Structure 1
Amino acid sequence: MTASAAARLAILEDMTIYQAQSQKKQLLAALAATRQLDLDLSAVPEMDTAGLQLLLLLKREALQQGKQLTIVGHSPMVQRVLDFCNLAGVFGDPMLISAQG
């Protein structure tokens, strides 16, 4: 089976410890099926460190497999978590900055 050129996956639920196991399987399967995964997190209402660890795992796996992972949408919660942990630069994706401070 050959991987397709690009795919988009939108996460519409919380990225917390409660969803981590099922989301890990979903994210790794999506990455395995493509050379480039565009991950839309614009609708993620809640994220904790388990969700952040999933993103870091997915980024590491993409790098090890020579694939590209791009986060194409960031919900306000995802932005806050990445900013708080000073990890926005790790993903290298453009992030819309809110006018509210």
Structure 2
Amino acid sequence: MSHKDTAPDAGANVRLALDADLTIYHTVPQKQALIEALAGSNRLELDLSAVGDIDTAGLQLLILVKREARVQGKEVVITGHSTAVRQVIDFCNLAAAFGDPMILPA
């Protein structure tokens, strides 16, 4: 994770920009960081524009964070889908399940 931006109403909105691959080799520390960020916010925005690679472990991590947010009555929004993220979400036919708008490059 590269950086965390907290809105003026601290704790309410947190934005995380992930700059590491979402693969089995990275998901354990990423899981802890994402769960902690969710615990400290009401709305968590995950910017995935710098994610170069994602596998099923990374996809499971995103699903887990979305599910945890729902259980806690919070919101997780995924933005800046990198090409790798878009391809995996499309391949697994999960765009509707995530519910986040994906902007396709021209």
TM-score in same-fold range (> 0.5): yes
Q: TM-score, normalised by structure 2?
A: 0.88
The residue identity in structure 1 corresponding to 2:93 is N
The residue identity in structure 2 corresponding to 1:61 is E
* Identity between Structure 1 and Structure 2 (%): 58
Q: Distance in 1 between matches of 2:40 and 2:95?
A: 25
Unaligned runs of 5+ in 1: none
Secondary structure at 2:77 match in 1: strand
Q: What RMSD over aligned residues (CA atoms) do the two structures have, in Å?
A: 1.1
Q: Distance in 1 between matches of 2:88 and 2:36?
A: 24
52-61 vs 90-99, which moves further: 90-99
Unaligned runs of 5+ in 2: 1-9
Aligned to 1:60: 67
Q: CA deviation at 1:4?
A: 1.2
2:34 to 16, 27, 30: 27
Q: CA deviation at 1:73?
A: 1.1
Q: CA deviation at 1:88?
A: 0.9
Q: TM-score, normalised by structure 1?
A: 0.92
Number of aligned residues: 97
Q: Distance in 1 between matches of 2:11 and 2:20?
A: 25
Question: Which consecutive aligned stretches of 4+ in structure 1 deviate over 4 angstroms post-superposition?
Answer: none
Larger RCO: 1 or 2 (CA < 8 Å, sep 6+): 1
Aligned to 2:21: 14
